[in-house]
Every structure is written in C-alpha cells, then in structure tokens.
Amino acid sequence: MMLREGACDRAALRGPGRERRVRRSRGAALALLFVLLFTAAVSRGDLNDAIVYAGEAEVPPNLLDDRAVQKAESRVRTLELADRRTPELTNDRIETNHARAIYEQLTYGKMALQEEKRYRVPERPTVYLTFDDGPSKLTEQVLDILAEEGIAATFFVLGEAAERHADLVKRMAQEGHAIGNHTYNHRYAELYEEFGGLWDQVLQTDEIIYQLTGKRSRLFRAPGGTHQNFDPFYAYYMEQAGYIVYDWDVDSGDAKRRGVPADEILYNVVSAPLKHEIHVLLHDGAGHEETVKALPEIIRYYQEQGYAFDVLDPSVQPRQFSLGKLKWKRKISFQQHEQFMERIMDFRTLRENGLREHSLKSWRQDPAAEERLLLQVNGRNMVLSEREFYIVDGHYQVPLDRLTAVLDGRLWKVERKAAGGPLEKAEDMRPQIADGMKGPAAVDPARMHNRYRAEIAGHMIVYDPAMQSMIVRGPGGEERSLTSVQLEEIDGRLFVPLRGTVEMLGGSIPSYSVDQEMKQVRIDMPNTGYGRGVWWKVSGQYRMGSIWSHPLLKQSTVTL
C-alpha cells in the first residue's frame, strides 16, 4: 500500500510537466494541420481571398504603412514555407507561388528588386551632363560644344526624334557619348496609365537606337522622372528587363516653362550643392536655345570646381527619386503581372544574346577601312586595331592582355572548375602579350570557367567573367571590389572596361579625341614608385611585395 501511494505521489509530481508536453504536442499538431490545409489551398490556387488589393484598392497603400508591409511579408514567408514543406508540388506550382509572393510584395508597396549592387566610385569628383527629349536641330550645336571642350555626355533620346535626326544619333555614338532610352513620344497618359503602354514605347525606341548605332542601351530615363509616375511594379519590371533607371540630382530648370533664360539656367546649376558625383538634367529638344547658350558656362563652372566629366553607364550609381503617391489610377492584376513578366524575360534573353552576337561580329569586320584606337599612357603609345576594341554604353572595352602590356604589367589566366573546385591551371600570358598572339581557346564553360589575374603598378587585379566582377588588391593589402562589370571573353581573350580598370588603379582619363584616322584616349597613371610586384608566401598566404626604384638614388629595394 505504501508503494502504491509513493507511485501516486511521483505521478502527481510528474503531472504538470506531462501536461505541458501534451499542450505543446497539441499546439504543434494544430500548426502542422494549419500548414497542410494552407498548402492544399495553395495547390488548388485558392488564394483570391488573400489578394485584397487586386480586387479593391485603386492605388497601393502608403509606403510607410508598416502593418501593410508586415502583412505582405508574412504572406511571402507563408508561401515560401509551403514550397519547402510540400515536395510533391511541381516546379510550375513553385514558380507560380513565387510569382504570387513577388506580386503581393509589389501590391503592398514593398520594392522587390534583386541583390544589392555595387557601383564604381570615380577617384575625382565627376559630373554627368545628361540631355533629354532630343535629338533636334539644336543637338548639333550641343555636340559641337562638347567636342570643342573634349568632354562626353549622355543623351536620353526619344524614338520619334531619333527617327527624324538619325544622323545626329549616329554622331553621338561615333563621338563617344552615351545614348539612353527616353520612350518614343513622351506622352504621359500613354506611358503611365498602364505598364504595357510604357513597355511598347521602350521596345520601339530600343530597336530604333539599335538600328542607328548597332548597340542596345541599358540606360533609361522616365519622362517627368519616376516620382509619382513609377510604382514598385514599374521599378521591378524595368529592373528585371535589365534597365538602369536614372533620375537626376541637379535640375537646370530649363524645362519649367517656355524660354527660360540662360542666366536663370546657369543660376539653377551653380546654386545646387556640390557632391562627389553630380547628375545634371538639361534638354536638347526643340525650343531649348537658351540651354545651348548656357552650356559653355555650365561646363566652365564645373571645370573650375575641379570636376571631371563622364558618361553614364551601368557601373554608375543611379539617382532615383522616392516614388511618392501616384498621380495615376492604375492597378495590375496577377494575370497581367504574369503576362508582363513573360514579355520582359523574353526581351531580356533576346537582348543578351544580341549583345553577344554584336561582340563576336566585331572580330569579323572587313579591315580595309578599319578604325583604330590610340592609347597614350604617360608618354607611351599603343595602337589597337578595330578588332581590339568596341564601345558599350559610351565606354571602351579593350583586351586585358594589350592593356596590361601598355601599363607595363603582367597577366595570368587562371582556370577554375565551375563548381568552385581547386585551382586547375595558372598560365603566364606574357608570351602572348609580347608577340601579339591571341590567348588560348576558351575552356568549355560547362566544365570550367576562367579568371584572369593582372599585376599592374603594384596592384593585383582579379577579373571573373562568370561573376562579372573584379577585385583589386593594393600594395598595402587594401582590397576593393566591383560587381556588374562588363567582362566578355572573345576568342580566348578577355575584354575589360578601359576606364573602370584605370580608375581602380588610381589613374584617370582626362581627355579623348576623334579624328578621321583614329580615336585617341589619354591615360594618366600615378607615379607611385612601384615597379613590378613580387608575390611572397607568408604563413601559408600570398602577399604582395614590390621592387621599388627611387628615381634619384638609382637603387632598388624589396618591401612587403
């Protein structure tokens, strides 16, 4: 009897813990049941009740509505959970669930852009002059002024204007200016009442630019700017299509009304705050004669402030306005969202293939009347044939082996397994540099991908075409990296951005010129005192040292 009572006492002592375990088990079972029921609803596609905005609201909730954003994020996480826990879902169903998750994020005002991008930061303060709404008869005067000053700018052209002034668009490209897409006719109602209207004009203008220049541009500027015209859907679609959308941070005010005088335009520019990078909005469309008058003084002002001039390209961080409350009553259903995404992905695939075909075509042109590019580096000259350079978004792409040679560097081609395996091969490419031979044939991309390592002026640069990235390690061990770099392998040679490489090494391109015989680019490299780098193995890791020659003492020392 005593034993039975003791057993009862022990059972009583265990009671509360057991009850807690039972409650937890029941809670887990209920949670699992909820997930299974929700998954069943997902597999049937019964999510209409969850899509509140698609059937009710005219515009997305305020972007600062935390509860709406949290609600959308919660639904996204639930959809992702359903995908992970139901392996019987087909790939099509998983893709549909993901598309719905993105759709809900956009509906509730949450931007759904891709991974964070890293941009090139120029060494010198830089101003980007941009001209909208052209070309027109005035554009010829603008181009003359820019040529006289030896600087380049960016022109966001209208498709209908480009058709009327095809010769001016061709001249822009020939003189090294960047060309961007500004839609076909600039009519707001056609562009912003529904995305299909904007997209049709983007495609139309893209084709016109391509037919006139042989190149497709990734630069886009929204007529009137993105503020109150774009919403998260518009921003997401343009980003998915491969476009970089550029607003501005200095408005010259030349389009605020008809006939804004030149002195007012100049005042608007010089009164704006100075930054390391400045995007200036100007117009070269019809009726902007006063802008042409003000342009020389605008250029002179920035020159006096120590600014360099450059064109926009995908490596330049865009200026983008806050979206704000829409001016337009529009809504996008999930079905429309899927249709837009299908069109956009088809366009992106075709365009990327077209860019590749254009790059390869440059190797097969008739050399009878070929253009040449002269690189002038601290008094040394190198001439590149037409097969050894091309232009992307207003910037020169040149072979890394030739650029390394004129900068008195060394180059290795490193082959690695595609899955990030061990180092397979490292080949010194100096013989190819010396005799002008092409590099070895490209390795099968299904098996391996190439990386290129260049040693220039005490710096080590690693280019990774597969990742479209470059990493620079300086003599002191400091490291900088850049993503979204235009890198392309053609017939076993790597083509790299000329300006991007020079600036990552601390150099600059102060001027360029074009004449009937050849294009010329002057490159200034800093005199750091470093000669050829030397790699030393220290504690199992490689570090760069250098052979340093003092110009007065005429002696060399080795430092780590």
Catalytic site positions: 132, 283
> How buried is residue 303: exposed, middle or buried, by Cβ count under 10 Å (0-12/13-18/19+)?
middle
C-alpha span between 560 and 558 (Å, rounded): 7
CA distance 480 to 461: 10
**CA angle centred on 66, ends 61 and 72, rounded to 5°:** 70
* Whether the Cβ atoms of residue 347 and residue 207 lie closer than 8 Å to each other: no
Q: Is the peptide bond before 135 cis (omega within 30 degrees of 0)?
A: yes
Q: Structure tokens of 528?
A: 């750091």
435 contacts 467 by C-beta, under 8 angstroms = no
Distance CA 250, CA 116 (A): 25
- The DSSP code sequence of 374-431 is EEEETTEEEEE-GGG-EEETTEEEEEHHHHHHHTT-EEEEEEEETTS-SEEEEEE-HH
Give burial (CB, 10 Å; 0-12/13-18/19+) of 212: buried
Distance separating alpha carbons of residues 302 and 125, to the nearest angstrom: 10
- Taking the CB of residue 377, how many other CB atoms lie within 10 A of it? 18
Q: Are 391 and 176 in contact (CB under 8 A)?
A: yes
Alpha carbons 133 and 155: distance in angstroms, whole number: 8
DSSP string covering 219-250: EE--TT-STTT--HHHHHHHHHTT-EE---SE
